Structure 1
Amino acid sequence: MEKVVTWTKGVFDSSYMIFCNGQVCGNLIFDTWNNHAFGIMSQKNYHFRCKGFSDITTTIYGDNNVELGVITFHLWQFRAIIALKDQIPFTWNYSNSWLSSWNLSNHKDTQMHFRASSGSGTISGENLENELALIAGLYIKEFFSRILVAFIAFVAIMVAVRGI
């Protein structure tokens, strides 16, 4: 049976509030100057720690620094692979050219479809109970959004410098 989860986010904010059945059931909060994030779902804590620009992977930790999985980004393809402990790997990719819709799937029993508009969105699909996969899907979206904003800012600066 397909379920729906909603989320909200400020336009210039990197903090997500996740709602299940109209009640807050989770948060995802990013650090301002890096891609580290802290997530909470159903009283469980998740820490996303990005290694950097040369090794574009993020390690997911639970409480007591227990490693739960790794996200590997493929920047040029705008996709990612989520490898969680003792689970089939998940594939994350955009499903439209406006970058407002994306999918997360393990190609077996979990299919999540994310849709975003300005500052909010929905997550629908099968097996939304996999909270870590769900929150990782939002993490990846924000990661790619930040890369895109940095690229646009770089191009704008280069154009401005060249025009001087």
Structure 2
Amino acid sequence: MDKGITWTKGVFDSSYQIFSDGQICGNLIFETWNNHAFGIMSQKNYHFRCKGFSDISTTIYGDNNEELGTITFHLWQFRAIIALKNQTPFTWNYSNSWLSSWNLSNHHDTHMHFRASSGSGTVTGTNLDNELALIAGLYIKEFFSRILVAFIAFVAIMVAVRGI
């Protein structure tokens, strides 16, 4: 089924509101100092727990702490693999050099194309009813955005320290 989904996010905020046909249908809320997040879609709760710096992966849990899948990040390639229970794995990757457009696909029956611009965006494609894949696509985008901001801050600090 083809339909459009929109989302909004504050400029300095890591909370996403997801809309379908103008009605809010979900949220994705990140914790401030780590990459753990809590998502809600259609009265279902999802918890994203990042394992840490030595193991760059995130486990997705549902209600009752049931493990629903994992996300494995490939930092140097800016891509990720989402392995959800009983589903074909999804690949996630940026589709432009400005990092404002990305794709999520299982190369079978689900293909989602995300576009972002200054705190909002759209999701188009097929099988947008796969809510966990949709919310995982936004989670990965925010994960990479946070890594990029941390890297830029690190470089800025190193330049400032070297200049002293």
Could you tell me how far 1:58 is from its partner in structure 2? 0.1
Once the two structures are aligned, what percentage of the paired residues are identical? 88
**Partner secondary structure for residue 4 of structure 2:** strand
Could you give the per-residue CA deviations for residues 74-99 of structure 1, whole angstroms, max 9, x where no partner exists?
A: 00000000000000000000000000
Q: How does 1:17-56 map to 2 (within 5 A)?
A: 17-56=17-56
Could you tell me how far 1:133 is from its partner in structure 2? 0.1
In the alignment, the residues of structure 1 paired with residue 87 and residue 117 of structure 2 have an alpha-carbon distance, to the nearest angstrom, of 31
Could you give the per-residue CA deviations for residues 41-100 of structure 1, whole angstroms, max 9, x where no partner exists?
A: 000000000000110000000000000000000000000000000000000000000000
**Partner secondary structure for residue 115 of structure 2:** strand
Could you tell me how far 1:156 is from its partner in structure 2? 0.2
Aligned length: 164
Q: How does 1:135-150 map to 2 (within 5 A)?
A: 135-150=135-150
Aligned position for 1:162: 162
In the alignment, the residues of structure 1 paired with residue 89 and residue 53 of structure 2 have an alpha-carbon distance, to the nearest angstrom, of 23
Could you give the per-residue CA deviations for residues 12-52 of structure 1, whole angstroms, max 9, x where no partner exists?
A: 00000000010000000000000000000000000000000
Aligned position for 1:117: 117
Runs of at least 5 residues in structure 1 that lack an aligned partner in the other structure: none
Misfit runs of 4+, over 4 Å: none
RMSD over aligned CA atoms reads 0.4
Could you tell me how far 1:2 is from its partner in structure 2? 1.9
Aligned position for 1:58: 58
Aligned position for 1:9: 9
Aligned position for 1:97: 97
Could you give the per-residue CA deviations for residues 133-152 of structure 1, whole angstroms, max 9, x where no partner exists?
A: 00000000000000000000
In the alignment, the residues of structure 1 paired with residue 4 and residue 76 of structure 2 have an alpha-carbon distance, to the nearest angstrom, of 30
Runs of at least 5 residues in structure 2 that lack an aligned partner in the other structure: none
